[in-house]
Amino acid sequence: MEKTINNPNTIKYINQKKIREIRFLTKSAFVLRFDRDNIQFVAGQHVIVGPKGALNQREYSIYSSEKNDYIEILVKEVINGNVSLQLRNCKPGDLLEVNGPFGSFRLEQKEIYFRKYFFIGTGTGISPFHSFVTSYPGFDYTIFHGIRDINDAYEKHDYDPKRYLPCVSRGNKSKYNGRVTDFLPDYPDEPDMLYYICGNSNMLYDVCKILRNKGVQSERIFTEVYF
């Protein structure tokens, strides 16, 4: 489901950005790259994006690194979705309306290289984790990426193959054939490990329940609902 924002009295756009590139990863998922200019963000934050003049906009976690001179978002085309279909039909050179960044789903700068991180995301919910990994090379992380098909392992070459663990619910092309919730109960917890979870509300609820049953304190769990 797409979460759209269409109240002009609530959001006032001040940024128009030109699309630089559209990169298709699958038939329905693509990366949209646009000018960054004056936007300063921290990995894990999101922006609100829509085509210029469109009535609806949508929240997208930033997919690119803090170090890039552009911003990328990872988009999954949604059947009957207002925004994703319009973005799919955009072309390089078209203008977007962009507002933000927003959000506090981020890593503490002073802790990044002194803690262990466990990232759990489904589908395009891997976006903030891609931004983390490409922004802070060399830190200690593990990713459980819940996907339907191995082809949905979006740009997996950007991750350390020993740290990126695709949980594939269809097919048998992964060591982890099933959902993230099938494997999380048996994955060892460590006292200094922080858990970051990004996905739909049902997945978040199930994962948080598993973590609590494992004895993980709430202060070590960070969540972002992804529509």
Domain ranges of the chain: 4-102, 109-225
Average pLDDT (196-206) is 94
pLDDT of residue 173: 67
The pTM (predicted TM-score) of the whole model is 0.91
Closest CA to 176 of 116, 115, 117, 120: 120
Closest CA to 81 of 170, 166, 163, 2: 2
Domain covering 109-225, topology: Rossmann fold (3.40.50)
pLDDT of residue 5: 42
pLDDT of residue 176: 79
pLDDT above 50 (res 206): yes
Domain covering 4-102, topology: Elongation Factor Tu (Ef-tu); domain 3 (2.40.30)
pLDDT above 70 (res 138): yes
What DSSP state is assigned to residue 81? -
**Integer Cα distance of 23 and 73 in angstroms:** 10
**Integer Cα distance of 163 and 5 in angstroms:** 35
Closest CA to 115 of 85, 142, 89: 142
**Integer Cα distance of 117 and 170 in angstroms:** 27
Percentage helix, strand, coil for the chain under 3-state DSSP, each rounded to 5 = 25, 35, 40
pLDDT, greater one: 175 or 154: 154
Q: What angle do CA 42, 163, 149 make, to 5 degrees?
A: 95
